[in-house]
Amino acid sequence: MRILAVISGDYGARHVQNISAHGPKEWTIESWNAPTALPLIIDYPEDYLPESLPAVDLILALAEHKGVAELLPEIAEMTSARAAIAPVDNEAWLPRGLARQLRGWLERQEVACVTPKPFCSLTETHYAVTRREKIAYQEPLISEFARHFGRPSFDIQIDPETRLITAAKIRRDAACGCAAYVAERLVGISADEAEQEGGLLHHHYPCLASMGIDVDFSDTLMHVSGNIMRDEIGEKVKPFKRVTYIAPGTLSETADEENPDS
C-alpha cells in the first residue's frame, strides 16, 4: 500500500515515524509538509500545493491546521488516492463540521474517508465520532491500515499464581506508537494494577491528543484515548483480578482471608 502523510508538525511526524518503522514492509509512506499559515478561506487551493505529489492509495491527513482539510480534495485528485484517514485528535485542527464536509467532498470524488475521533478509536469496521456515535465503513484500504494501527489491542500473558503480567505484545498499535510503549512496560505489573498503570503510561508517552474539553465527549480527547487503552487492558486482565466483596457492617472477604485473626 502506498501512503501519503500530510503533516505540519510534531504530531504528524511522530505518526509517520512509527508507521514507517513498524508497518508492513510492503507499505511505502511518503510525507508532504503542508503550509503552516493558511487564510481563513482558501479560494485557490493550487496556490498552496506543490506542483506534483506521488501517486498513492491512501492519504493520512495529520496536519495541525484546519485549512489543510480544504486542500485534501485536490490532494486526492493529484495523487489518485482511493481512501483517506483524517483523524480528529484536536478540534482546532479538524472541527466536527469540517470533518463532515470533508467526508462529503471526498465521497463525491469516490474517495472513501473516515474521521476517527480520536484516532485510536479506528477499527477495521468502524470509528467513533462522539461518546455514543460510531460510524461503520467498508473500504479495504482503510481496513488494511486499521488492521495494524488504530484502536490498541494486546495479547497479555499472566501467571495465574502470582497474577503478574509475564508478557505483553501488541496485536494493533496506536498509530502514534503509544500502545507499543505501554506494552513494553506492563511486564511485572499486577493484574490488579494493570489498568491504572496503563493509563499512566499512556500519559507519560505522551499522548498528543487535545487536553481541552471536547463537547462531543464532555472530556478531553487525551482522556478519551487513555480510557480506550485502559479498557482494552482491563478486558485482558479481568479474569485474573482480585475481587473484593464488602457487605455493610462487615469486613471484606479479602481482608478476612489475609488477616484471619482480625
- The set of cell numbers assigned to 2 is 502506498
pLDDT at position 44: 79
Q: Name which of 142, 128, 117, 10 is nearest 64 in CA terms.
A: 10
Whether residue 188 is found in the same domain as residue 231: yes
Above 60 in pLDDT, residue 250? no
Above 70 in pLDDT, residue 128? yes
Whether residue 143 is found in the same domain as residue 210: no
Percent residues over pLDDT 70 in the chain: 92
Give the pLDDT band (50/70/90) at residue 120: very high
Contacts of 257 (CB under 8 A, 6+ apart): none
Q: Is 10 helix (H, G, I), strand (E, B) or coil?
A: helix
**pLDDT tens column, 36-58:** 888 777 877 888 899 999 999 99
Asked if the structure places residue 255 within a domain, the reply is: no
Percent residues over pLDDT 90 in the chain: 86
Whether residue 7 is found in the same domain as residue 88: yes
| Amino acid present at 169 | K
Asked if the structure places residue 247 within a domain, the reply is: no
What's the CATH code of the domain at 55?
Answer: 3.40.50.720
The pTM (predicted TM-score) of the whole model is: 0.90
Whether residue 133 is found in the same domain as residue 16: yes
Asked if the structure places residue 261 within a domain, the reply is: no
**Which contiguous run of DSSP H or E holds residue 154?**
strand 153-158
pLDDT at position 247: 59
Above 50 in pLDDT, residue 143? yes
DSSP 133: -
Above 50 in pLDDT, residue 217? yes
The 10 Å CB-count burial string (b at 16+, else e) for 214-245 is: bebbeebbbbbbbbbbbebbbebbeebbeeee
Tally of structural domains, the chain:
2
How many residues are recorded in the chain? 262
Domain span at residue 33 reads 2-148
Whether residue 14 is found in the same domain as residue 115: yes
Whether residue 171 is found in the same domain as residue 71: no
Domain end, chosen from 89, 117, 148, is at: 148
Whether residue 98 is found in the same domain as residue 15: yes
Asked if the structure places residue 173 within a domain, the reply is: yes
pLDDT at position 256: 37
Whether residue 10 is found in the same domain as residue 115: yes
**Which contiguous run of DSSP H or E holds residue 253?**
helix 253-258
Whether residue 120 is found in the same domain as residue 226: no
**pLDDT tens column, 81-97:** 999 999 999 999 999 99
Whether residue 96 is found in the same domain as residue 196: no
pLDDT at position 232: 96
Query: 199 with 231: CB under 8 angstroms?
Result: no
pLDDT at position 259: 44
Q: Is 220 helix (H, G, I), strand (E, B) or coil?
A: strand
pLDDT at position 244: 63
